[in-house]
Each structure stands twice: as C-alpha cells, then as structure tokens.
Structure 1
Amino acid sequence: MALKIGRGAEAPPFLVMDVITAANAKAATLAPGDPGVIRMEVGQPGTGVPRGAAEAAIRALQAGDPMGYTEAFGRRSLRERIAQHYAERYGVPVPADRVAVTVGASGAFPLAFLAAFDPGDAVAMAAPFYPPYANILTALGMRPVLLPCGSETRWQPTVAMLEAMDPRPAGLILASPCNPAGTMLPPEEFAAIAEWCGTNGVRLVSDEIYHGLTYGAVPETTAAAIPGAIVVNSFSKYFSMTGWRIGWLVLPEDLVRPVECLAQNLFISAPHVAQVTAEAAFGCREELEANIARYRRSRAGLLQALPQAGFDRLSPADGAFYLWADIGHLANDSIEFCRRMLAEAGIAATPGVDFDRDRGRRFLRFSYCGPEADMAAAPGRLAAWLGR
C-alpha cells in the first residue's frame, strides 16, 4: 500500500532557486580565463553584510556569548531598535511589543498567514507576484486569488480590481516596491487601497522588504495605514544580510499573542548571532547608502543599454533591484529562453513563469544587485548573443 503524501508536497518549485543551481553548475564547468557567469537571477545583494555589523558579531563570539535561544519574538534590544527605525524613517510610533523578529521574511509569511487566515480563505495579490506568497498559502490550505496587472497600472493592483471581487477576499498582499517589477504605488493609491481594506474587513499584509531601496519617492508603510494591517520586512535586501536569515513583523494587537505562540512552536527563535548582527546594522547607514548609489548606477546603465541590446520593454523600476522585461518579441517561452541565455551567453536570469503562471512565458526578470562591473558588461554580452 502506498503511503500518503501530504498536500504541502504538491507545492510548485520556486524556479529562481533552480536557476541558481543551473548557474552554479555552469560556473563549475568554466576553464580558467573563460568569461564568468553574470548573475542576474536572484535578489541577493553582492555587497555582503555591513562591516560594522560583522564586527559586532565577531566581538560577541570572541566575548564568549553562548548564542542560545532568545525569546520567540527576539532580543528586546533588537525589537526596540526596529521600533525606533519606524520613528526615524517614517515618523510612525510603533511599540516594540508589536515587533516580532523572524527567521527572515520567509519565516514571517507562514506566521502571518496562519494567524490571520483559515484554510479555504481567499487571499488576493497582484500578478506578477513573489512566488512564495501563493505557494505558502496553497501549502497551508488557503486560496491565492490573482489580480492580473499590467503596465497600465504599473504592475500594481487598483481599488477597481478589488471592488470587482465578489465575494471579498479575507486578505490582500501588497508590495510597494514590488517584486518582480520594482514598481511602487503612488501615495494616494496606496492610501485608497488601505482604506478599502479597512472598510471591507480585509486583512492587509504589506511586504515592505524593499523599503530603503528606492530611486525617487519614499514608500509608505502600512504600519501607519490602518488598524489590523500586518507589516513584513527583512534585513536581507537594504541591509544586505540574505544568508543571516533575519526579518521582522509589525503586528496588530489582535495577532501579537497568536503569532508569538506559533513562533514558539514553529521556530523557537531567530538565530541569536543574526539578531546581534542585525541590531548593529542600523548603525551602518553610510555603507548601506553607498550600496544604494551602486544599485542606482547599475539601474541607470541597464535602462539605457538593455533597449539597444533588444530588451526595450522594461518596467519603470521605481525601487528594489529588478527589471521586468517583456520578451514577447524575442521568444514565447521564457524558461527555454533563459536556459539558452545561460548556456550560450553566460547570463542567468529568472523566467517570468515564476512570477506569473498565465502570462509569464513572455517575460523574464533581471536582477541588478550584483557586482557593478557585471551589470555594466551584461548588455554588451546580450547584444552579441542576439546579434545586435
């Protein structure tokens, strides 16, 4: 008799991780002197942990800190520093008691979803979208409901789309800046969507992990928008700490204790050493802002040079470090196109089907947070590959 396999085993792959594996395999085959693989597939800053933060971790280890379990919501000093961050950056008072330190944003989403929604609940999100939103919801028995968005709405949802939903969803996931397009909601549209959620009893989950990585307007935080909203953030992107697996939630009062109980049982606590490092990272603003300047230069160079290489249908990229490219004039299968681009041009990018299952075969996502020299070299290599 065959053994039962659980529903969670049916979760589709997060394709960018498969691309990472393929790019690593390609790099391993290169001979000395061969052109290297240009990594534009993953949103992993090439800058690394800020120096002052790394030194804080070294000092703690050398001092013999046992690095044991912390409270489920994290070290009190880190929670207080995150609360201070909201006062400094947004002018928003956030009590430290409503801050939960998590195992990255990836660990924050299951906690938020389990506390806020029940199996069978519908949770809306824009398409294209960050794949784990839908994959985690599905694994938990919830129903992701996709709102197809296009360039006419800057790849973001609108109140009109939400009004057309019948019945209303239990929740809405909003990301501004968003992944994969890097676009932001104008303040008035952000406020209108937040108000709609509050009026209609829809739990708003705001993914703010790309806050700080913007090239114009400063994004709004849902921590100030409506009661009941959940904020997800991370030290991975702006703070350049991907492998440290450290993030946070700002929770409404009604979810503080439920999320704490879930965190105690699912994760115990975020890594102690990562919490020490994250707290110190707040003191590294000069280095972090220098990283933004680097991304800004790479973004400007790619927006200018990629159209000449044949990629002339790009998202505006207000923030984050991604370009969402329509390649419908070049190919109708982004998976195969990205496979060939890696094999023949040595450039790794993520096929659009990772972010939009219905329309993604004519799109791909370029990430430009890698080494600046690589980002400058990529358009020329692509142009040669496409015969431009």
Structure 2
Amino acid sequence: MHNHLASRLDNIAPFHVMELMKMAAALEAQGRHLIHMGIGEPDFTAPQPVIDAATRAMADGRLQYTSALGLPALRQAIADDYLRNYGIQVPASRIIVTAGASAALLLACAALVEPGREVLMPDPCYPCNRHFVAAFEGKAKLIASGAAHRFQLTEAIVRQHWDAQSSGVLLASPSNPTGTSIEHAELKKIVASVKELGGFTIVDEIYQRLSYDDAPFSALSLDDDVVVINSFSKYFNMTGWRLGWLVVPERIVPQLEKLAQNLFICPSSVAQYAALACFEPATIAIYEERKAEFKRRRDYIVPALRELGFGVPVTPDGAFYVYADCSAFSDDADAFARQALNEAGVVIVPGLDFGPATAHTHVRISYANSLENLQEAVARLKKFLVRK
C-alpha cells in the first residue's frame, strides 16, 4: 500500500478536547477524584421504557435492516411529535432517520455542499460542523460572533459576509459551545435572506428540546426549504445508541435516500425500536423532569461562575453549557483548563476546538452533572483561583 493519504485530511483538525480527556483519565488512574464538566453528554441515560422497548425488539428478533429512511412508525412518531410539541405539520415522508445527528449532518453536507464553495457559520461553533463541510471539499467560513449577537450569526452579518463563493449557512440553535439560541425573528430573517441569495440553510436543533426560557420553536415553522438536524442523544439521553434524524424538503428525499442507502444502509434497528418508546406520555414525563433538573443546574452555575470572576455576558437559554470568558485569570484558555484539571481536579474544555475568535479567552463548562458535583466544582475552582 502506498503512503499517500487524501489531501482532504489536512482540512480536518484533531479534537483537542480528547487530549484533555486522556490527561483526565491518567489522573483518575492514579486515584485522583475529578469532577467532569467537559464532555457534552447528559449524565442521565435512557429511561426504563426505552430500555424495555429495546429488550423486546431483541427478544422478538427484530434485528434486520430497516429502510434506509428509517422505520415508518418512527418517522411518523417524530412527525406526530412536531405537531404535538411545536404545532407544526411535518409529513413523515420528509423525515429521514439517521445514525445520530452526525450522520444527518454528513448526509446534508453530501447533498448540498459543492467543492470549493463556502458555508457560513458562527465562530464559536461545534468543530465537527465545519469538518463535515470540509469532508465534501467545501470551505467553512467562520465569522466571529461575539456576545453582542448571542455568539450567533445575524441576518446583517450573513449579508455582510455573503459573496460569490457562498452557498449556504450552517447554524445551531441552541448552540454548542455557547448554549445560546438565535432569536426567532432573527432566524426568520436569516432564512429569508439566504433563500433570496440562492443558498441553503441547515439548522442543527439537537438541543432544541432543552430550551429553558421560551416556548418550543423549530426552524421548520419558517420555511419548507430549511434542512433541520435533530438527535435522540441530548433531550432523549440516548448518546451511545447513535440515532438522529433530519427533515428535508420533499423534493430531495429520493436523493438523500440514495445517499443513505450507499453510505449507511440503515440506522440501528434496535435503537429505532427503542426510540419509539421515547414519545410515550410516561417517558416524556421523565424527560421533562430531567429537563427541569438541567434548568435548576443552569440557574445555579451561571451566577456562581459570575461570582468567581468568569465573564458570562449572555445567559445560556438551552443545552447544558456555559461559554465563559476566563481572560480575567489567564490569556491562554488551554493552559488555564489544564491547570484547573491538575490543580483543582475540575475538567473544563478550552475554546481551542470551537474556532479561533475565542480560542484563547473562553472555556466551555458543561453542567450535565449533579447539582452536588457542580457545587463541589465551584468550591474547588474558588480555592484554585485564590491561589492563582
């Protein structure tokens, strides 16, 4: 075998947070007790009704391939949920079940991203989003988006940066790493402008059900041409089950089906049968209790971090992250995160992965941990910061 690897790999950066996780694992192996506020994963796992549904599917032998578009019953359950939760009528025929939101983004980018063309996205943003674009030879155009704009793009910013190479926008609302949403009126203007400019809009809504301050809202209510990504990982607590979905305009479903058949064959059949139980009223009641607990944690951690001296100019309204300015303590967020790990035993993530604009000034702090652990983490950070 020759040693030449495809040049597209040069456009995909490593996940720096994983280095920090390796350091954390080494400390734990030495017996250190760490409080994890790094990885973006709910500390809750799938509720019992979901596990029971998976067990039944396995016992009944329902383990064969499903349609590349997903189980018809699951696509319909998702459609019913859009109507019940958001008041939007989305035909099941527009819903494609995928192997996690990552596969949904991969399919969307495979269908929409042209080689050499640019996709606008905010800086900071989830790193994999720009790498999905790079995987199909597109160029992620990161636009510094600070606290004044909720760390998000606005219609004015999109118009300002749109040029002959632009082909679309990729947004996330609520966002990882910031936990902030795009205001509905602003998102409506972005969608309308991008359509007028002849581009596409992809909106990652994997944290949409974990919105704490406003009524449920989906970009699907704005325009049938918007491509929306969602997931069973976050609100539904099924991270390792690898199940998500995307909603696309009816006219491109056959093209996405062709792609899904070739790239994935189908999502996990067991995970799909399990996910049917997610939408039962008793299961939703469990999820809503857990969501209330996330809100309680947010309402504790944001003021606590401000009191410690972190800058949190925008209160996160969704997900389970605080994107905090640590420049009062250090001009190197990466070194600060390593110090917090080694000296305080608290795992936080530097801004390095999320884009150059905030790489050295911000850290992402996840509150997907028990309130007791969050309180202990704040106490540890307080002692650590006094010593600095």
Is TM-score (shorter-chain normalized) higher than 0.5? yes
Per-residue deviation at 1:232?
0.2
Q: Structure 2 residue aligned with 1:76, among 69, 72, 76?
A: 72
8 Å CA contact 1:298, 1:376 repeated in 2:
no
CA distance 1:12–1:71, shift in 2 (3 Å): same
Which residue type is aligned with residue 3 of structure 2? L
CA distance 1:58–1:97, shift in 2 (3 Å): same
8 Å CA contact 1:184, 1:219 repeated in 2:
no
1:257 aligns with 2:258: no
CA distance in 1, matches of 2:370, 2:260: 36
CA distance in 1, matches of 2:74, 2:175: 26
1:147 aligns with 2:143: yes
Which residue type is aligned with residue 7 of structure 2? R
Residue number in structure 1 paired with 2:217: 220
Per-residue deviation at 1:158?
1.0
Residue number in structure 1 paired with 2:205: 208
Number of residue pairs matched? Answer: 383
- So what's the TM-score if we normalise by structure 1? 0.95
1:271 aligns with 2:268: yes
Per-residue deviation at 1:2?
6.1
Which residue type is aligned with residue 71 of structure 1? S
* Higher mean C-alpha displacement, 375-384 vs 242-251: 375-384
What secondary structure sits across from 1:192 in the alignment? helix
Per-residue deviation at 1:364?
0.5
1:27 aligns with 2:28: yes
Q: Pairwise mapping of residues 191-340 of structure 1 onto structure 2 (< 5 A)?
A: 191-283=188-280, 284-340=283-339
8 Å CA contact 1:214, 1:319 repeated in 2:
yes
* Residue deviations 1:134-184 (CA, integer Å, cap 9, x gap): 112112210101121111111111111111124152110111111111111
Q: Pairwise mapping of residues 29-48 of structure 1 onto structure 2 (< 5 A)?
A: 29-30=30-31, 36-48=33-45
8 Å CA contact 1:299, 1:368 repeated in 2:
yes
8 Å CA contact 1:190, 1:220 repeated in 2:
no
CA distance in 2, matches of 1:53, 1:271: 14
Per-residue deviation at 1:56?
1.0
* Residue deviations 1:287-313 (CA, integer Å, cap 9, x gap): 101111111111111112222323243
What secondary structure sits across from 2:229 in the alignment? strand
Q: Would you identify which runs of 4 or more consecutive aligned residues in structure 1 move more than 6 Å? A: none
CA distance in 2, matches of 1:166, 1:179: 23
Per-residue deviation at 1:350?
1.0
8 Å CA contact 2:62, 2:269 repeated in 1:
no
* Residue deviations 1:290-342 (CA, integer Å, cap 9, x gap): 11111111111111222232324353101111000011111111111111211
How much is the aligned-residue C-alpha RMSD, in angstroms?
Answer: 1.6
CA distance in 2, matches of 1:270, 1:20: 28
Residue number in structure 2 paired with 1:125: 121
Residue number in structure 2 paired with 1:6: 6
CA distance in 1, matches of 2:315, 2:372: 22
Residue number in structure 2 paired with 1:175: 172
What secondary structure sits across from 1:387 in the alignment? helix
1:96 aligns with 2:92: yes
CA distance in 1, matches of 2:100, 2:366: 20
1:56 aligns with 2:57: no
CA distance in 1, matches of 2:340, 2:234: 26
CA distance in 1, matches of 2:240, 2:143: 32
CA distance 1:2–1:52, shift in 2 (3 Å): closer
CA distance 1:87–1:313, shift in 2 (3 Å): closer
Which residue type is aligned with residue 192 of structure 1? K
* Residue deviations 1:224-246 (CA, integer Å, cap 9, x gap): 21232111000000001111100
* Higher mean C-alpha displacement, 15-24 vs 46-55: 15-24
Which residue type is aligned with residue 179 of structure 1? N
Q: Percent identity?
A: 37
Per-residue deviation at 1:220?
2.8
8 Å CA contact 2:113, 2:133 repeated in 1:
no
CA distance in 1, matches of 2:83, 2:201: 21
CA distance 1:197–1:81, shift in 2 (3 Å): same
Which residue type is aligned with residue 274 of structure 1? A
What secondary structure sits across from 1:170 in the alignment? strand
Q: Pairwise mapping of residues 345-384 of structure 1 onto structure 2 (< 5 A)?
A: 345-384=344-383
CA distance in 2, matches of 1:314, 1:378: 21
8 Å CA contact 1:123, 1:171 repeated in 2:
yes
CA distance in 2, matches of 1:360, 1:368: 20
CA distance 1:166–1:287, shift in 2 (3 Å): closer
Q: Structure 1 residue aligned with 2:132, among 129, 136, 142?
A: 136
CA distance 1:166–1:319, shift in 2 (3 Å): closer
